[in-house]
Amino acid sequence: MTVLASPPAVPQTARRMRRRSRWTGWGFVGPFMAVFALVFLAPIAYSLWLSLFQTQLVGGTSFVGLDNYVRAFNDPQFWSGVGRVTLFLLVQVPVMLGISLLVALALDSGRLYGRDFFRLTIFLPYAVPGVVAALMWGFMYGERFGLVGNFNDLLGWNLPAPLTSSLVLPAIGNIVTWEFVGYNMLIFYSALRVVPASLYEAAEIDGAGPWRVISAIKLPAIRGALVIATIFSIIGSFQLFNEPSILQPLSPNYISTHYTPNLYAYSLSFSGQQYNYSATVAIIMGVLTMLVAYVVQLRGMRKEA
């Protein structure tokens, strides 16, 4: 917001008008600000407040200052969860965005038959609710009676069980990729559609091939969309919850109660009644996510400038 300093020589009436117009602005944003404060700021403030206390089953509530934060920073279960989602982020996000970009470029190339059909079918998984998707994949991953089991029986293969220790994270990555490729594809595709056709014509006149067009025109043109999609994906990875939570009953020994930070926060409050510590974990994760997303945004935007 820019606040203009009033020059000293402004007449009274003009000053009053300016003051009134300042309040008019608030009148317009007021309803939004009220709702924003109520549903966004208040819960965060309340979580912050909560994180300063400790409630015990025996002994009640006491003020503990920053003890919960100290505990979180020394909590191996919390950090193992953070490590897991970081690994997830580093592997799954590039794969997912890579596929999305490829599909978006293919659709945009104009060489694809049934473009609208492909666009719709690739986007379709995004329309399936995440919980349903995780359930569905959970069935397919079953090695005894699921799709994996059927393949093994039918073809005599020995596919490994996707819900065992080393494979459960890739299995989750697969679900998330399946769900969000279409969504990211749509972001990229819509960004590609607004590139002026005159640029392509100019490139053609200059004798640029399709790869040259992609690297010199299309990719730079959608850099903003790439950054946005990356930030969304980072937030999504750090907030990973639905998929492990749904698969947990199928694989309780491999998906622990602290598998991801969000799952940990959930277990803390709903199985352990540790609401205060849970709020602390949520806040630390929120700050961490914001930091990473902000760094990515800064870097992405600077290159663009």
Partner 1 sequence: MTIRHHRAVGAVAAAGALALALTACGSGSDDPGTAQEVSPQDVAAALEEGGELLVWAWEPTLDQVVEDFEAEYPNVDVELANVGTGNDHYVALQNAIGAGSGVPDVAQVEYYALPQFSIAGSLADLAPFGASELDGTYSPGTWNAVTDGDAVYGLPMDSGPMALFYNAKTFEEAGVEVPATWDEFLEAARAIHEHDENTYILADNGDAGFATSMIWQAGGHPFAVDGTDVTVDLADEGTAKFTELWQQLIDEDLLADVPGWSDEWFQGLGNGEIAALVTGAWMPANLESGAAQASGDWRVAPMPQWTEGANETAENGGSSLAITEASDKKALAYGFLEYANAGDGVATRLAGGNFPATLADLNDEEFLAEEPEYFGGQRINEVLSASATGVVEGWQYLPYQVYANSVFPDTVGQAYTGSTPLADGLAAWQESIVSYGNEQGFTVTE
Among 10, 34, 44, 87, binds partner 1 (CB under 8 A): 44
Among 50, 93, 107, 191, binds partner 1 (CB under 8 A): 50
- Rounded to whole angstroms, the Cα distance separating 259 from 244 reads 8
Counting contacts by CB under 8 A, is residue 141 touching partner 1?
Answer: no
CA atoms within 13 A on the CB side of 183: 18
Give SS3 for 5: coil
Q: What is the largest CA-CA distance in the chain?
A: 91
- Residue type (1 letter), 293: A
Among 286, 288, 292, 300, binds partner 1 (CB under 8 A): 286
Among 145, 210, 298, 304, binds partner 1 (CB under 8 A): 145
In whole angstroms, the minimum distance from the beta carbon of 124 to partner 1 comes to 18
Q: Tell me the torsion sign for CA atoms 154, 156, 160, 164.
A: positive
The piece of 8-16, 115-123, 193-201, 269-277 that touches partner 1 (CB under 8 A) is: 269-277
Among 60, 76, 114, 156, binds partner 1 (CB under 8 A): 60
Number of H helices, E strands in the chain: 15, 2
The piece of 11-19, 57-65, 190-198, 219-227 that touches partner 1 (CB under 8 A) is: 57-65
**HEC per residue, 139-190:** HHHCCCCCHHHHHHHHHCCCCCCCCCHHHHHHHHHHHHHHHHHHHHHHHHHH
Q: Measuring CA to CA, which residue among 293, 275, 294 is closest to residue 283?
A: 275
Counting contacts by CB under 8 A, is residue 139 touching partner 1?
Answer: yes
Binding positions for partner 1, 224-253, rule CB under 8 A: 232-233, 235-236, 239, 241-242, 249-253
Rule CB under 8 A: which residues touch partner 1? 39-40, 43-44, 46-47, 50, 53, 55-61, 139, 142, 144-146, 164-165, 232-233, 235-236, 239, 241-242, 249-254, 256-258, 262, 265, 267, 269-276, 278-279, 282, 286, 289
